Amino acid sequence: MESLNNGSGFNEVELESFQRQIADRFQDLGSVSSDELLSLPWVRKLLDVFLSSEEEFRGILVNNKGRLMKPPLDRLIADFYERSVKSLDVCNAIRDGLDQIKQWQKLMEIVICALGHRNVNKNNTNKRILGEGQVRRARKALSELAVGLVDDKDSSQPLALRNRSFGRNNNSSNSQSKDQHRLGYFRSLSWYVSRSWSAAKQLQAIGSNLVSPRANEITATNGLAMLVFTMGNVLLFVMWALVAAIPCQDRGLQVHFYMSRQFPWAASILSLHDKIMEESRKKDRKNTSGFLMEIYQIDKCSSSLSELTGSVQFPISEEKEKELRQRVEEMGQVYEAVTEGLEPLEKKVRELFHRIVHSRTEGLDCLGRGHNSE
């Protein structure tokens, strides 16, 4: 039996280097201010951390193909890819959540156009007097926005009925057929998010039986068992953080991370977990449909505008109109932040989805069963 530092294949130095990089990346994610945590740019950075870590993980596996088919590593690798399949449903749910935010963005645009002195897409600074029609239109949009922002677990989300996924973006039937074959007809194809689907249960399924490898497994796999365990925890945490930030049905954050602080990366991941949980316990964020910072900002400025428009009397006083326009400017700033951050994040989630599909196919090829249907 080979030792971890015998100079052949994967060794202890590589394992420590990989784990230290994971630790540094998550420490960097946790070093931001509370205003940056869970923002659109932060979530995008989180996915970059996963993609970078996964690329290194995949490279190590490719360089150790001969070991992957030997027990117990073959089982551990297969378990990891089973978790990754489950994460595809989370990716689809997250994209639906991003679509929901787009709908809120449209409602914000209605409010800004109705109450503002300029169109959100044009720099027209000519003021106009606010009339009852504009205020009524803004109130209606604000009312719809308020309903959407609340995390109502009993309601049936329209999102749940959408029958599409990252795997079906190509309109070509030949390409579509080829993609389906490449996916290997996963047990969960993630073509849609059904009414009964639960983000909370899916996270529990991803984390099921994710336990630290025994000493004999680490030795038998020359340390690769610990590599797989580390990446499994990174996958679980990233999916958990996505569900925490982005609206999706039956959100639930009660996921247990079974990791000893003796692992180099554990402290930084657990610290970040605690920070996100601390945000979730804040009074003004408890009932929101997602802890994304921009959702909090939308909620805050829309609530302020709803209260203000509800007390408006006509003809509107100059003082009230000035206050109203100030609140509209604040909403305009949030609107711009959402506009700038939403599309890049959606592209990053799509990249994540396809990376997981590709890596699983490649990994199972190494195990000699990459194209078998499950």
DSSP per position, 30-74: HTS-TTTTTSHHHHHHHHHHHHHHHHHHHHHHHTTHHHHTSTTHH
Residue 169 lies in a domain: no
Report residue 267's pLDDT band, with 50, 70 and 90 as the boundaries: very high
Which 8-state DSSP code applies to residue 7? S
Residue 273 lies in a domain: yes
Residue 5 lies in a domain: no
Residue 62 lies in a domain: yes
Span of 50-64, 120-134, 148-162, 311-325 with lowest mean pLDDT: 148-162
pLDDT higher than 50, residue 216: yes
Q: Across all residues in the chain, what is the average pLDDT?
A: 84
pTM of the model: 0.86
Residue 162 lies in a domain: no
Taking only the tens place, the pLDDT of each residue in 126-181 is 555 678 899 999 999 999 999 999 875 544 344 444 445 565 444 444 544 444 44
- The residue that leads in pLDDT, 176 or 269, is 269
Q: Give first-to-last CA distance, the chain, whole Å.
A: 33
DSSP lists the bridge partners of residue 288 as 150
Which 8-state DSSP code applies to residue 150? B
Q: What is the pLDDT of residue 311?
A: 87
Residue 360 lies in a domain: yes
Q: What is the pLDDT of residue 258?
A: 83
Residue 200 lies in a domain: yes
Report residue 245's pLDDT band, with 50, 70 and 90 as the boundaries: very high
Q: What is the pLDDT of residue 254?
A: 85
Number of domains within the chain: 1
pLDDT higher than 70, residue 371: no
Residue 94 lies in a domain: yes
Cα separation, 329 vs 340, whole angstroms:
17
Domain span at residue 346 reads 12-116+131-151+193-369
Tokens 């809120």 -> residue: 104
